[in-house]
Structure 1
Amino acid sequence: MTVAVLLADDQPWLRLGFRAVLDAQPDLEVVGEAGDGDEAAALVRELAPDVVLMDVRMPVLDGIEATRRIVASGSPSRVLVLTTFDLDEYVFAALRAGASGFLLKDAEPADLIAGIRAVAAGNAVVAPSVTKRLIETFTRQVPRPPADGRFGELTAREREVVVEVAGGRSNKEIADRLFVSETTIKVHVGRVLAKLGLRDRAQVIVFAYENGVVTPGTADA
């Protein structure tokens, strides 16, 4: 299957570069380009891309609000945020808005391609080391809402999986730590997403920290 990608960036030369890299892949196709967040949200409605490569800072409507609108619309399109800095408060806001992950703008082409494929497959693209720095930095600055009662509906094993996902670990790493098969972990993650009403692993990470399921530093053990 070909993954349809929408590019949203206010710099034409960057879009040109991304298009050249992505269109060279047999399974990726750039189906549209947007120069601001408002245009990006409109093109998502029109083109229904699988993945939106979304810049954070854009005129008219920024990438965060555009992401929020896309997710709130119920669109199946996944948003992969691009940023200049890996510790950018806007990135955390984008994850909270429903983005499936983020990459640095200067990421290697291979990482960009792999990230788009991963997001299209329903996975989060947030490197474990960056996840820890990002979340630990900004959860200290963001007031936590009241504890979410949905967490209490999870089984003991599902709660363990949430903690492991919050540590930025892959299904294989979680399976090894919990001494079960990778397939079993995939099933647990799917159930966690369904019970918590979340789109993907990136939102599980944010949910875990915002609701005190884990606190900065505790997901490393």
Structure 2
Amino acid sequence: MSANYAPQTAFGRAINTFEESAIAIILGAMTMLTFLNVVMRYVFNSSIFWGFELTLSLFAWLVLFGMSYAVKITAHLGVDAVVTMFPSKTRRIMALVSVVLCLIYAYLLLKGAWDYWAPFAGFQQTSGRWLPFYLGDGQWTSDFFIKTRDQGWYVTETIPMPQWLRFIEGTFNAGEEYEKLPRFIPYFMLPFGCALLLFRFAQAAVDIVQGKRGGLIVSHEAEDAIKDVRHMNAED
């Protein structure tokens, strides 16, 4: 965990533990599955045929889960060489502008992620009309969702359907059995990860306004590495 982040409450520590544990479990599962597939292929001349697709899904989960976590602990890479040339008040204004732009970007990502995932789960896509829209002839609409074709029967190519998940078939597949894992399950990480990203940017915005955080970039890995090298050279 980054030294720049320390949970202040029991709830914050619980959430942080959950996030770190989820990332570790996903990374561990990817590593074990890839290792087992290599052993199966070169030792037993066989393979876990659904392993590749599951590994790809887990990698996507790791990226989408990790991007919001990296915002929280300020682990994203960034260049602030120009920003540091300005006085502190100007830097704070620039930080607020940047976090607002990031909030807009994260919201658009969330909308796009929902619109992609929703049909696979039998939900409706968003219309893009966030305000009442005039239809003509004195009629207005403020519909946020649009009619979308249900694609809940779409399944993955190779990942088998776990028996303990059969209870969802009555809700998402009209009672029909899934031959493979439905796509809305691995794809769920798209809106979930984007929602977490939006939430973390909102937290960062509040911290910047309250003066608890100078910007989205706090750590300077390159500078720290140079200092470490100078320190080692001085000892020599």
TM over 0.5: no
> TM-score band (shorter)?
under 0.3
TM-score computed with the length of structure 2 as normaliser? 0.23
Q: In proportion to residue count, which structure has more strand? A: 1
Higher-RCO chain (CA-CA 8 Å, sequence separation at least 6): 2
Q: In proportion to residue count, which structure has more helix? A: 2
Larger Rg: 2
TM-score computed with the length of structure 1 as normaliser? 0.24
